[in-house]
Structure 1
Amino acid sequence: MKKHIPNALTLLNLLCGCIAVILAINSNFISAAIFVFLGVFFDFFDGFAARKLQVQSELGLQLDSLADMVTSGLVPGVIMYKLLILTLDTDLVQGESWEPTTFGVDFNVPILPLLGLFITLASAYRLAKFNIDEDQQTYFKGLPTPANALLIISLPLIIEFQNSDAINSIILNTWFLLGLTFLSCYLLNSGIKLFALKFKTYGFKGNATRYIFIILCAVLLIVLQFAAIPVIIILYILMSVLDNLTSK
């Protein structure tokens, strides 16, 4: 019975991702973000449960990646696509679109925002590499897809809740979103070694970087609220690089 618990949590992650996709397509970004957060929560605890119950399996590994592909791959791609649409003028959206086919099927989709789906493609490539890379047991190579998903979904949350015209004008800028899209694709598949929040022991020794990071995350979230999420991702990368240099 216990061997099914981690897989059940993974399937809950997938369910949250499916719901988030539907909500994101309908531009209900806040609700979509809630389900992504829930999905990431289940994604963290399915691996934790598998290790604690000692029921890790190849099936669980593959299922986890399939769930992540939806929650942390497809959802951020769709959200970036929708945000890019918001940055375009109505005339531009209508002008840069495919014409309906001779069979009467309407493919009236703006072309430029489709570049946001590169995040989904890069996520798929990153997850496939992770599954065949035996080195990534104690660290990640490149930004994990859940972290990248949180980065992307933080954008509509910042717009909605931070109430800053200056920040909103930056986020709702086509070139900023395109730059972030390609930066996201690079980070997902970069060779940068990033520490994993996996604790073999709970003592401070050997886990100093993890504990400091968690404390700083809590402080940043209290002070900056949703605007803290991009800062936390940058902090995560910088602390990982620093940790790599000091360990050498």
Structure 2
Amino acid sequence: MKRHIPNFFTSLNLFSGCIATVMAFHGNFFMVVVWVIIAAIFDFSDGFSARLLKAYSPMGKELDSLSDMVSFGVAPSVAVFTFLIKNLPLITQNELIQQYLPYMAFLLAIFSALRLAKFNVDKRQSEAFIGLNTPANALFWVSFCYGLTHNVHLTPTLMYIFLVAILVFSSLMVSEIPMFSLKVKSFKLKGNEYRYFLIVAVIVLVSVFKILGIAAGILLYITLAIIDSRNHQIQQAD
């Protein structure tokens, strides 16, 4: 019985991702954020329960990736697609661009699939990540779409930045940049400085900026991961 518990959580992750995708098509960005967060909780729970119960299985690994593809690949891509459909008229009146450029959003889905496939065959990523993980990418985009829709005055410049960010984040997911995970071997401060700082900073950012603070927290995570990677390279060189 216990070997099915991780797969149960994985199935709930998939279910949450399906609902998030439906909400994204309707342009309900708040509920997209809610359901992607719920999916992320279930995604964490399946891995945690698998380690706790030692209930690993090849099927569970494949099911996890397929579920993540929906929750953290398709759902955020649809959210970005819907956002662009609604807001591209801010930067152009060209009907062809307005009609076809939103499909650029699905680069995020394509690179999420590449990222997940790479993760499954990359033996280096058992304790840390190589490249931006898909839950972090998804949380950035769904919270960013919500924040730009409700808390920020959209300008043409901001829309151009948004489009460039799609390319940047797509590249980050398949990059060779080492990025720490939130898994801890111990709760001691030493070795977990960046993790604890990130957790406290995200709490502060969300308290101040609400949902947009999640996107800011992901940007901080990427920055800290790059700094941490650079420090490790310097230490190894010495």
Asked if Structure 1 and Structure 2 have the same fold, meaning a TM-score greater than 0.5 normalized by the shorter chain, the answer is: yes
Match of 1:62 in 2: 62
TM-score for the superposition, normalised by structure 1:
0.86
Instruction: Report the count of equivalent residues.
Output: 232
Misfit runs of 4+, over 6 Å: none
> Which residue is equivalent to 2:49?
49
Q: Is the CA contact 2:80–2:145 (under 8 Å) kept in the aligned structure 1? A: no
The percentage of counterpart residues that share the same residue type is: 38
Q: Partner of 1:190: helix, strand, or coil?
A: coil
Distance in 2 between residues matched to 1:111 and 1:245, nearest whole Å: 39
Residue 240 in structure 1 maps to residue 225 in structure 2: yes
Superposition RMSD on alpha carbons, in Å? 2.2
- 2:193 aligned residue (198, 205, 208): 208
Which position in structure 1 is the counterpart of 2:27?
27
Amino acid of the residue matched to residue 37 of structure 1?
I
**In 2, Cα distance between equivalents of 1:159 and 1:231:** 12
Cα separation, 1, equivalents of 2:230 and 2:104 = 35
The alpha-carbon deviation at position 244 of structure 1 amounts to 2.3
Which residue of structure 2 lines up, in the alignment, with residue 140 of structure 1? 129
Alpha-carbon separation, structure 2, partners of 1:226 and 1:241: 24
- How do 1:153-232 residues align onto structure 2 when only pairs under 5 Å count? 153-162=142-151, 164-165=152-153, 168-169=154-155, 173=159, 175-232=160-217
Correspondence list, 1:114-153, <5 A: 114-153=103-142
Which structure carries more helix by proportion? 2
Alpha-carbon distance between aligned partners in 2 of 1:211 and 1:79, rounded to the nearest angstrom: 30
- CA change 1:89–1:212 in 2 (3 A) is closer
> What TM-score, normalized to structure 2?
0.89
Residue range with higher mean Cα deviation, 31-40 or 81-90:
81-90
Deviation, structure 1 residue 215: 1.5
Aligned 8 A contact 1:77 1:120 in 2: yes
Following TM superposition, by how much is the alpha carbon of 1:160 offset from its aligned partner in structure 2, in angstroms? 4.8
Structure 1 portions without partners, runs of 5+: 98-108
Instruction: Check 1:208–1:26 CA distance in 2 against 1; reply closer, same or farther (3 A cut).
Output: same
SS in 1 for 2:41: helix
Deviation, 1:208, is 2.5
> How many Å apart are 1:228 and its aligned residue?
1.7
How far apart are the structure 2 equivalents of 1:87 and 1:213? 32
Query: Over alpha carbons, which structure has the higher Rg?
Result: 1
Maintained 8 Å contact 2:134/2:173: yes
* CA distance 1:60–1:170, shift in 2 (3 Å): farther
Kept in 1: contact 2:131–2:177 (CA 8 A): yes
The alignment status of 1:7 with 2:4, answered yes or no, reads: no
Alignment match, 2:89: 89
Where does the alignment leave 5 or more consecutive residues of structure 2 unmatched?
Answer: none
Contact 1:13 1:43 in 2 (8 A): yes
